Structure 1
Amino acid sequence: MQELPNIILYAIPFFVASIVLEIYVLYKRKQKTYKTKDAFTSISMGIGNVLLGFLTKTIVLIAFFYIYNNFRLFTIPITWWSFVLLLFLDDFSYYWFHRISHECRLFWASHVVHHSSENYNLSTALRQTWSGGFYTFIFWLWLPFLGFHPGMIILQMSISLIYQFWIHTETINKMPKWFEAVMNTPSHHRVHHGSNPIYLDRNHAGIFIIWDKLFKTFQPELDDEKVVYGLVENIKTYNLFKIAFSEWFNMFKDVFSKNKSILSSMRYFIKPPGWKHDGTGKLSEDLKNEWLKDRT
């Protein structure tokens, strides 16, 4: 464990330098994708995530080590080939965590934070949840069960997060075709952050876009459909606590509202955002179908 560093902390100077460079490039291009309050809000959310990470990573490691020490099927060595294998298995876990975070309101309650900015730049990458770290790690529990050392898993999860930092930008249009075909890129991830109906709940990739293509959640960025960033219904606040917890409040408000069965109440935890027990809600697929109908 002592030989596997917390690379997120080492990456912070790189994050800061990259944001400064992006601001300079955008200034030269006369593009305005930064708003001071929004950027500081994103950075503040990121700082809160890092501070809470000292607690959440302890919880995660305890869970990983408990499974690894008591239930692992194999003992996978810490070597080059196991890191290559883990790269793909971790990314597979991330894809399903990310997809479920859009399709299940319990997980959306924490993930919505990352989509709450109406701007898209490198500072947006730092707008991270304050609550997700306490429970979203369950998507990775199968890895220590297989026999991957917990330190390896934490390290690879950090590598994935660092990779995803650079794709939060409009300064890069498209990468080479071979790269776009396999890897997650700024173009693919701009789609993911779009509130346009055609872009909703698409491109959940972490590092490899192949999972979205395999499981049919891929959507290319369209030349005639400029990405509109943010949420279908934006939060419209820079208050850190409202950003962090407003969806939790709204979800529990729906759960405990009157005139419905207990089963309907519980469904608010597992159904997608937008679902209503009385059938009045609209899911992302409903919005997409309406959009496609209007286009024809």
Structure 2
Amino acid sequence: MSETTGIGALPPHLVEEAVRRALAEDLGLAGDLTSLAVVPKGAIATATLSAREPGIVAGLALAAEAFRQVGGISFDPQVADGDRLARGDVVAVVSGDAHALLAGERTALNFLNHLCGIATLTGRFVEAVAGTGARICDTRKTLPGLRAFEKYAVRCGGGWNHRYALSDAILIKDNHVAVAGGAGKAYRAARAAAGHLVAIEIEVTSLEELAEVLEAGAQIVMLDNMDNDLLSAAVAMNKGRARLEASGGVTLERVRGIAETGVDYISSSQITMGAKPLDLGLDVEIR
């Protein structure tokens, strides 16, 4: 588990590369044919980027980079990542060459809509478990190429990051256990192979498997697809020896009950894969 407490910042090289790819995909070889045809050359535009529904901000650096790369545009944010928005709040004021502004508009909004949606849904999960001590975590179920940004959005919403990639930590899941010949055997093999800085987590699906891995010395255990009664029993059996993570079947409606069983972490792919884009709009005035 990542134990960062701050939102941090997105690596600039990742932002630049992702935006460059997105603009190339949208502008192609000929550029913005619509604006070239109907917007007078040299026209100046001012646009207000605002929230059409409440939410949490994430991804301003990507929007700013989109307008920077198209050139001739000033992007003036009025909020910061992690801030809460009410309907109608101004997110940023954008101004400059009208052709450039319109060329960068969709790329900027695509990133913002998506990442603000993730931050907003994460925030709802975090609010749902407030006061329990459980932390809401993401998973590796992210859109290819966008993982760093989606996990950043989770932090903006008050959530915590699980591992970023297969190379971050050892996470022994049911298929690994099956191939290794048992949960305890799999955990001991991992502990023998791992370097001293590599975290090891193992997934169990029953109290019998939990007892086996606790005896093997497991310090982080994922309780997979257990109902609340079984989770409570697992917490009681654990007696504080290992940190426990509940995963599988986690919904916004159920998450409070899961947290009240006493687990330390609750991981869910819903906060990245199930988030609805936040409705943000860019209203342009051409001068």
TM-score over 0.5 for the pair: no
Larger Rg: 2
Q: Under TM normalisation by the shorter chain, which class is it?
A: under 0.3
Structure with a larger share of its residues in helix: 1
Structure with a larger share of its residues in strand: 2
